[in-house]
């Protein structure tokens, strides 16, 4: 059976499900309507899928220093995975509504703990339905299994190192995956302060996908990445967004392009603005 590590299409996923060769996780979530994803899951989901709530499962409690979606503790994440029947050699497929915005967060988290047999459903549940495939309302239950975490903390960038770089004007490539008006500081619908980290460049994750939520062809993705990085796509980078979620979409894009994987600034903008001494930039 083929192993999938980045993207998978609906018909490939159907074959895995028919062969009982994967675990499927529904990551649908709406920041403005936090219960909508779970409600939609109960209404209908890809057969065999369990539900992952961004706030409750893929993040821990917000603190006075953290961003909006700090990572769960390793023991909590381990319990979550074993409760879903995910072992170290299990093929995992994650999906959301369409664009991979939240599914990529779980894709990255699994890689963070040493599990790379995970793929995002290209185009999400919308692609599944366009393919004429059926949904289910059955909620699966799995016997707990064993999953050994092998976390790679080198995949994470911290506020302290980014702040030090801004103060010393050390060269760093910091990609911000938020949309252009938010990055420029013209609007801020979620966080309390608008703008971006000085020196950051903008690569909105929504510009890397088609209207139907599927990823753009590789040549177009390469052009976008090259433009964002000033023609130097192999440069090391840190990726951020509002709260360390949609930035994972850009991380997956880097994997598709076989670039040096960027690190994730988990706290992202919502953590950066916690301290008013940290500089903020805006642009036209």
Contacts of 135 (CB under 8 A, 6+ apart): 44, 45, 46, 47, 125, 128, 129
Confidence (pLDDT) at 235: 65
CATH topology of domain 7-151: Oxidized Rhodanese; domain 1 (3.40.250)
Q: Global pTM?
A: 0.96
- The verdict on whether 27 is a catalytic residue reads no
Provide the residue ranges of all domains of the chain, joining segments of one domain with +: 7-151, 154-272
Give whole-number Cα distances, 133 to 8, 10, 11, 95, 98, in Å.
Answer: 15, 8, 9, 15, 15
pLDDT of 283: 87
Select which of 22, 27, 241, 248 is catalytic: 241
Query: Which residue numbers in the chain have pLDDT < 50?
Result: none
**What is the model's pLDDT at position 263?**
96
pLDDT at 233: 64
pLDDT at 210: 97
Can you count the helices (H) and strands (E) in the chain?
10, 10
Q: What is the pLDDT of residue 234?
A: 67
CATH number for the domain whose boundaries are 154-272: 3.40.250.10
Q: What is the CA radius of gyration of the chain?
A: 18
């Amino acid at each position: 059976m083929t192993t999938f590590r980045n993207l998978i299409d609906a018909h490939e996923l159907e074959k895995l499900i028919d062969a009982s060769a994967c675990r499927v996780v529904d990551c649908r979530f709406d920041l403005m309507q936090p219960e909508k994803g779970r409600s939609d899951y109960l209404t209908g989901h890809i057969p065999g899928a369990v539900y992952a709530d961004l706030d409750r499962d893929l993040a821990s409690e917000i603190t006075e220093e953290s961003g909006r979606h700090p990572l769960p503790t390793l023991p909590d994440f381990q319990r979550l995975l074993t409760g879903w029947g995910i072992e170290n050699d299990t093929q995992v497929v994650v999906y959301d509504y369409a664009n991979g915005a939240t599914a990529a967060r779980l894709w990255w988290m699994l890689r963070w703990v040493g599990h790379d047999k995970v793929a995002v459903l290209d185009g999400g549940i919308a692609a599944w339905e366009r393919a004429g495939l059926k949904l289910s309302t059955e909620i699966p239950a799995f016997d707990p299994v064993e999953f050994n975490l092998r976390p790679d903390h080198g995949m994470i960038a911290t506020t302290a190192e980014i702040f030090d770089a801004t103060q010393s004007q050390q060269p760093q490539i910091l990609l911000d995956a938020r949309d252009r008006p938010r990055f420029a500081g013209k609007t801020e619908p979620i966080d309390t302060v608008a703008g971006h980290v000085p020196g950051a460049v903008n690569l909105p994750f929504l510009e890397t996908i088609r209207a139907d939520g599927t990823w753009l062809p590789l040549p177009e993705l390469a052009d976008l990445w090259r433009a964002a990085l000033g023609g130097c796509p192999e440069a090391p980078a840190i990726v951020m967004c509002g709260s360390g979620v949609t930035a994972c979409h850009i991380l997956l894009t880097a994997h598709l392009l076989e670039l040096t994987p960027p690190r994730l600034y988990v706290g992202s903008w919502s953590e950066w603005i916690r301290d008013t001494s940290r500089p903020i930039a805006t642009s036209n």
